[in-house]
Amino acid sequence: MGALDAVDLTSVGPWAVAVVEATGSTNADLAEQARAGAPAWTALVAGEQTAGRGRLTRTWSSPPGTSISLSVLVRPARPVNEWGLLPLITGLGVARAIEALGAPAVLKWPNDVLLPGDDERKVCGILAELVGGPTPGVVVGMGVNVSQARDELPVETATSLRLVGVSVTRPEVAAAVLEQLGEVYGQWDRYGWAAVKDSYESACVTLGRTVRVELPDGTGVLGTAASITPDGRLLVRTTSGDRAFAAGDVHHLRSI
């Protein structure tokens, strides 16, 4: 089945796409397929997701007809120690897709896609998960808010394409994301981080800002986001020296 809103999405760019009307989690479904031997460049699109997961154990759900949820399976040729860059690469692909649809988009490290047209609220969340087996791979899930009104969004910091004046269909969003992600991922897989580094850093509004990084243990670090390391960590300049973070919840702070 490859249709969403009566639009055929069976094959978009290099992806072999399956479409379901609704599911609990596209990531969980595709990870199961990956463990059963599904090939790289497999994508799963859902019109409704009821039990999706975001970073840091958050939930990600989408009401019927207003969002697009999709996951992709990749089996990179790059060394495994470079796979941590995939969330950043995916964020860049989604941001490019949203810009192609007519809305300026920026990134908050590592992969939150924000819309400057709505006070840098979040339009897309991304979660990457390693899948083991004889041929390891990574399943990357994305949820893009398409047509929600303000009162239909789960939190005040969220937004949708509709709220910045972009009127598009869900198949158009899914196709744009898959096309742009295929291009960015292909560049990285062939040539490494150097091929996409400048583009990512240009789009990442975290860099140069005063930030507070909330760590999984509940502590926080205050400093200036200085750069992205070659393995995708955020380098923060603090009063006690530079620190690089592979995980954490980043808050952009306003200058006083």
- pLDDT at position 176: 97
Fold of 3-203: BirA Bifunctional Protein; domain 2 (3.30.930)
Q: What pTM did the predictor assign? A: 0.92
Show the tokens assigned to 166: 């972009």
131 pLDDT above the threshold of 90: yes
255 pLDDT above the threshold of 90: no
**Mean pLDDT value across residues 93-112:** 97
Q: Give the residue extent of every domain in the chain.
A: 3-203, 210-252
Which residues on adjacent β-strands are paired with residue 138? 74, 130
56 pLDDT above the threshold of 50: no
Q: Report the C-alpha gap between 236 and 239 in whole angstroms.
A: 10
- pLDDT at position 37: 94
Q: Report the C-alpha gap between 233 and 246 in whole angstroms.
A: 5
138: three-class secondary structure by DSSP: strand
- pLDDT at position 248: 85
Of the chain, the percentage scoring pLDDT greater than 70 comes to 93
Does domain 210-252 bear CATH number 3.40.50.300? no
63 pLDDT above the threshold of 90: no
In this prediction, residue 59 has a pLDDT band, given cuts at 50, 70 and 90, of: low
- pLDDT at position 4: 85
134: three-class secondary structure by DSSP: coil
**Mean pLDDT value across residues 128-150:** 94
**Mean pLDDT value across residues 10-24:** 91
Q: For residue 45, give every residue at least 6 positions away whose Cβ sits within 8 Å of its Cβ, in sequence order, or none.
A: 4, 9, 17, 18, 19, 20, 26, 68, 69, 70, 174
52 pLDDT above the threshold of 70: no
104 pLDDT above the threshold of 50: yes
- Least Cα distance to 136 among 218, 76, 198 occurs for 76
In this prediction, residue 256 has a pLDDT band, given cuts at 50, 70 and 90, of: very low
DSSP state, 254? P
2 near 9, Cβ under 8 Å? Answer: yes
64 or 155: which carries more pLDDT confidence? 155
